[in-house]
């Protein structure tokens, strides 16, 4: 393994395709991940045959072989408070456990554009919508697993939809409804992440800081290229960056990542830390299927602290 590219793909990739979904659909991709009781849970984005996405649960005993529920779990709402904003689908979920609740942030997509929805569950049976945390145009939101200084913390990505530039922002809330103190956390830079960024996975608490993965997008003559970096934030002041990987650490290489509805995309929405050591990164590949790659936590943290110059000179 190249020390700059710490992830090892699971040999059985892709772990889920539409053949594994027990009802007709176009694609299954961009899944949130968590552990619940003795099971691994993936919350799948499934695009139906009309092109609208909903979320369905898949369950596993070992984190590699998943069985998909026979019915969707979260579908666009009929409630007039939510319907206009979810009419075109519910996309790209992330799960964060805060105390006894599992909070789900998702992209609500409707005629006005994408915005961030928040809901929660205790049991992965009943789902309760809480709020739209943002106006349009905003997506790729994750919650921190604990309050900091009495406030919930969320990372999101205003703008960036369509052809706009997209920076990663951070903001705070007393109740998950009213948000403020927003500021820019990380911006696109020339090179692999020049077009836009978006946070990929909810932060994990480590001794060195909050660790999260993000995606960077580059516009090329052949279309957009989605790759992955990692960022480390201060434990007490998460708006302060301790370090971030100066280069992408994971990108499309395999056929199932290069070919599909949207080629050249790896798009993680979930990560699970095992035994404080191994990270299981679940990612959508080419907007068509779901795959898994593993890396050691220490390697990712080391890369977040790497100096740019060392990468350029190879020393």
Contact footprint for ligand BMA (CB under 6 A) = 30, 91-92, 226, 262, 265, 267, 284, 287
* β-strands 128-132, 101-110 pairing: unpaired
Q: How far apart are CA 41 and CA 235, in angstroms?
A: 27
Q: How far apart are CA 165 and CA 194, in angstroms?
A: 9
CA 109, 104, 250: angle at the middle one, nearest 5?
A: 85
- Nearest CA-CA partner of 269 in 291, 240, 300: 291
Position of minimal CB gap to ligand BMA: 262
Q: Nearest distance from residue 213's CB to ligand BMA, in Å?
A: 14
Q: How far apart are CA 307 and CA 246, in angstroms?
A: 7
Nearer to ligand BMA, 21 or 197 (CB): 197
Q: How far apart are CA 138 and CA 166, in angstroms?
A: 9
Q: Nearest distance from residue 29's CB to ligand BMA, in Å?
A: 6
Q: Nearest distance from residue 219's CB to ligand BMA, in Å?
A: 12
Q: Nearest distance from residue 161's CB to ligand BMA, in Å?
A: 7
- Nearest CA-CA partner of 290 in 312, 260, 245: 260
Nearer to ligand BMA, 124 or 267 (CB): 267
Nearer to ligand BMA, 255 or 261 (CB): 261
Q: Nearest distance from residue 99's CB to ligand BMA, in Å?
A: 29
Q: Nearest distance from residue 261's CB to ligand BMA, in Å?
A: 8
Q: Contact at 8 Å (CB) between 213 and 201?
A: yes
Where would I find the H helices in the chain? 83-86, 255-258, 297-304, 308-313
Nearer to ligand BMA, 95 or 303 (CB): 95
Nearer to ligand BMA, 208 or 218 (CB): 218
Q: Contact at 8 Å (CB) between 294 and 306?
A: no
Q: Nearest distance from residue 267's CB to ligand BMA, in Å?
A: 4
Nearer to ligand BMA, 49 or 163 (CB): 163
Q: Nearest distance from residue 26's CB to ligand BMA, in Å?
A: 13
Q: How far apart are CA 171 and CA 185, in angstroms?
A: 10
Q: How far apart are CA 173 and CA 280, in angstroms?
A: 29
Strand order in the sheet with 266-274: 8-9, 289-296, 278-285, 266-274
Q: Contact at 8 Å (CB) between 273 and 204?
A: yes
- Nearest CA-CA partner of 95 in 24, 43, 161, 21: 43
Nearer to ligand BMA, 286 or 304 (CB): 286
């Amino acid at each position: 393994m190249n020390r700059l590219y710490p992830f090892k793909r699971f040999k059985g990739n892709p772990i889920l395709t539409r053949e594994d979904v027990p009802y007709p659909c176009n694609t299954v991709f961009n899944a949130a991940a968590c552990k619940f009781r003795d099971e691994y849970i993936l919350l799948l984005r499934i695009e139906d045959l009309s092109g609208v996405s909903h979320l369905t649960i898949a369950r596993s005993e070992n984190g590699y072989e998943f069985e998909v529920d026979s019915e969707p779990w979260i579908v666009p709402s009929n409630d007039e408070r939510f319907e206009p904003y979810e009419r075109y689908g519910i996309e790209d979920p992330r799960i964060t456990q805060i105390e006894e609740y599992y909070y789900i942030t998702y992209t609500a997509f409707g005629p006005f554009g994408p915005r961030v929805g928040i809901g929660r569950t205790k049991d992965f049976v009943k789902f309760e919508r809480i709020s739209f945390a943002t106006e349009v145009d905003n997506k790729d939101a994750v919650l921190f697993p604990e309050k900091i200084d009495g406030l919930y913390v969320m990372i999101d990505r205003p703008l960036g939809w369509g052809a706009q530039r997209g920076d990663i922002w951070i903001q705070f809330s007393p109740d998950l409804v009213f948000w403020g103190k927003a500021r820019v956390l990380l911006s696109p830079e020339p090179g692999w992440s020049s077009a836009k960024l978006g946070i990929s996975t909810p932060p994990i608490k480590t001794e060195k800081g909050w660790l999260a993965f993000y995606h960077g997008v580059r516009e090329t003559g052949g279309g957009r290229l989605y790759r992955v970096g990692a960022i480390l934030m201060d434990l007490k002041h998460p708006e302060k960056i301790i370090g971030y990987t100066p280069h992408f650490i994971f990108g499309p290489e395999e056929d199932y990542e290069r070919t599909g509805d949207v080629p050249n995309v790896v798009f993680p929405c979930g990560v699970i830390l095992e035994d404080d050591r191994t990270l299981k990164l679940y990612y959508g590949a080419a907007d068509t299927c779901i795959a898994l790659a593993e890396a050691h936590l220490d390697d990712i943290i080391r890369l977040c602290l790497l100096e740019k110059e060392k990468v350029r000179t190879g020393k």
